[in-house]
Chain A
Amino acid sequence: MDLVKELLNGSRLALARAITAVESEYDEAIDIMKAIYPKTGRARILGITGAPGAGKSTLTDKLVKQYVKAGKKVGIVAVDPTSPFSGGAILGDRIRMNDLATNENVFIRSMGTRGSLGGLSKKSSDVVKLMDAFGMDLIIIETVGVGQSEVDIVKNADSTLVVLVPGLGDDIQAIKAGILEIGDVFAINKADRDGCDKLNVEIEMMLDLDSRKLAWRPPIKRTIASQDVGVEELVESLDDHFEYLEDSGELQKRRAERTRDEIIAMINEQIGRYIADKIVSSDSFAEQVEAVNRRESDPYSVVFNVTDKVLKA
């Protein structure tokens, strides 16, 4: 396939088009993924998430500059929510990374969530794989940390950086539940603001309570991304974490789990699609539902009938 060949030969346009094919679920997407899969598994994957307005894009911009300076090739997948009303989206993360746009060692791709909740995690993971096969050393997935789908996206990463800012008050409470437990490294951005110490203490307290954080205690770093303050130290912490993952065997373990999870998710998706196409839309299914409504049958028996049929097929 030409596109794959060009992508593997370093064509940025081919990479861009392959991403579109995957994101839009074009027919050729699966063939592309199959063809590039052997070339994946080399890049390090970093997830960045946090509250809206935490300065994630600015911090990403500064982090990437550090890595590029160190000779790395970096891919960025920036995910923004799609409007549930129009299906459109404004993807504005690039605005903070404009001077990276023309760097030949950087490739930035913006994605809308496009309303496909479960599928988004797979799609963004496929985009990461394309960038991996393209030869990126580091791939960053950046997303706003407000919901389960975002958490799922970030779970595709080897390490997760959670970005917080002082003085957001209730937002922190809201975010605590979903995002904080997945942080491997924390950044308190805009650290020149009031409330920085308080936030630091809050995170420490939460980490104290988390028994999963015994082997690796997530460091908390203070940054002022807009002024490039604390970014080098943050890079060190991120590198430390990656080193820890490698040395402890955790990286292999996480990746193996991820592969397994991905395959399971794809199987589920495939089966779900089969059920949707072949069963849910069939007349006999509609009749069975009617029968349940008339209390002539019950949902449990219908489920048995359907799964039985699927398994035989």
Chain B
Amino acid sequence: MAEKRIRVLVAKPGLDGHDRGAKVVARALRDAGFEVIYTGLRQTPEQIVEAALQEDVNVVALSLLSGAHNTLFPKIVDMLHEKGMNDVLVIGGGVIPDADIPGLEKAGIAAVFTPGTPTSDVVDFIKKNVK
């Protein structure tokens, strides 16, 4: 009788307060039938990783617009792995220059969604890639 439901943590690391994108994505994921845990602004990597662990999410979706992505995104992936969450899909979005994307992907970010991406792309990506 298992009813597997995809659980996604939508988190904003860093200090920027621009959560329009994160909130729109959170709603779209809800409407796609996912359970979305929304933790709000200014989350430290430690807070995000702990929340991901306690909530046993399948996906961590990070949104950041301040330019601190190269520091914070890889740090979060590393900490997830340290805690034994190797099967969590980590995706990112925000104001992220194309040039930074290969580095982030190498660091373990499964996909980076830049401005203008339809939310349906994010939904499809999660459905296809969640483990």
Contact = CB atoms under 8 A, between A and B. Distances in A.
A and B touch in the complex (CB under 8 A): yes
Interface of A: 12-13, 16-17, 19-20, 24-27, 82-83, 85-92, 94-95, 98-99, 101-102, 107-110, 112, 114, 273
Interface of B: 1-5, 7, 26-27, 29-40, 43-44, 46-47, 50-51, 53-56, 83-85
B48 to A, nearest CB: 8
Nearest to B29: A88
Nearest to B7: A20
30 contacts: A12-B53, A16-B54, A16-B55, A17-B56, A20-B56, A25-B2, A25-B3, A26-B2, A82-B35, A87-B33, A88-B30, A88-B34, A89-B36, A90-B26, A90-B27, A91-B35, A94-B37, A94-B51, A95-B40, A98-B40, A98-B43, A98-B47, A99-B47, A101-B39, A101-B47, A101-B50, A102-B46, A108-B51, A109-B54, A109-B55
Contacts of A24: 2-5
Given A89-B35, A98-B40, A13 B53 contact: yes
A85 B32 CA distance: 10
A106 B56 CA distance: 15
Contacts of A17: 56
A91 B36 contact: yes
Given A12-B54, A13-B83, A16-B55, A90 B3 contact: no
Given A24-B2, A24-B3, A25-B2, A88 B39 contact: no
A91 B51 CA distance: 12
A95 B38 contact: yes
A27 B36 contact: no
Contacts, number: 93
A87 B34 CA distance: 7
Nearest to A17: B56
Contacts of B53: 12-13, 16
Contacts of A108: 51, 54-55
A91 to B, nearest CB: 5
B54 A107 contact: yes
Contacts of B29: 88
Contacts of B27: 90
Contact of B30 (A83, A107, A110): A83
Given A25-B2, A102-B46, A102-B50, A16 B30 contact: no
Contact of A95 (B5, B39, B46, B56): B39
A126 to B, nearest CB: 14
Contact of A16 (B33, B39, B56): B56
A264 B1 CA distance: 20
A81 to B, nearest CB: 11
A98 B2 contact: no
A289 to B, nearest CB: 25
A286 B38 CA distance: 46
B127 to A, nearest CB: 13
Contacts of A99: 47
Contacts of B50: 101-102
A254 B64 CA distance: 49
Contact of A90 (B36, B46, B54, B55): B36
Given A13-B85, A101-B47, A88 B1 contact: no
